[in-house]
Amino acid sequence: MRWKACLVRTWAGLQPSAAGPSYLAIESQANSSSVPAYVPDADQPVTFALIMKRALQPTIYFENNAGRILEDPAGFLRANWSSNSRQPGDARALFTHMLRALQRHNWSRILVNQVGMLPFSTAEQQWVAQEWLPLAVQGGYRHGAIVVSTDVMVRLATAYVTTQVNNMPLLYRSFETDAAAVQWLLQHPAEPRK
């Protein structure tokens, strides 16, 4: 799809002002649809490059004490675990929203960043391995890139979950860096194969 930089216009008739942020839209040549882009500073010159940079940033889908789920425009989810203490249902809610986001986009890939993560409880490990994983695979989950924690207890809890894959069509791989994990994920299809 090709974009026309000359077709930048204000979104919903709002004019940039010093009082607040401005919203802009870019129209595509293909179908005249508009893509909203947030410009944080009304005094900042609006350029096509700035608008496209904002449009290509991951957007927050869900967040709680356990972590944050982002929708990456490259066609995968980012699940960033936090170092916050969490309530018993927080991890379950994060996983539930991962599945919903995968299904919403018909995606098959998740990048899981566990660098600051607290270890899973035994109950969380069992729920993820026995209930969530089978549902996620049924829902299209096929590739998981894990940016691993330096905490040995987090690594052991993750190893328990990832070894429960058995004969499911799911492939996990561990990485030390986000860049390496992204590179590996992008080698796999965004949509699950039927």
Residue 97 has pLDDT above 90, yes or no: yes
Note the pLDDT of residue 93.
97
The CATH fold assigned to 59-185 is Transcription Regulator spoIIAA (3.30.750)
Question: Could you read off the pLDDT of 24-70 as tens digits, one per residue?
Answer: 333 333 334 444 444 455 556 666 665 666 667 899 999 999 999 99
Please, what is the average pLDDT of the chain?
80
Angle at 115 between CA 141 and CA 138, to 5 degrees: 10
**How sure is the predictor about 20, in pLDDT bands with cuts at 50, 70 and 90?**
very low
Please write down the long-range contacts of 10-16, taking CB distance under 8 Å and 24 or more positions apart: 11/36, 16/42, 16/46
Report how far residue 112's alpha carbon sits from residue 51's, in angstroms, rounded to the nearest whole number.
28
Question: Could you read off the pLDDT of 173-183 as tens digits, one per residue?
Answer: 999 999 999 99
Domain borders along the chain are 5-55, 59-185
Q: What's the mean pLDDT in 157-167?
A: 85
Contacts of 117 (CB under 8 A, 6+ apart): 67, 81, 82, 83, 149, 151, 154
What one-letter code names the amino acid at 164?
A: Q
User: Do 176 and 147 contact (CB within 8 A), yes or no?
Assistant: yes
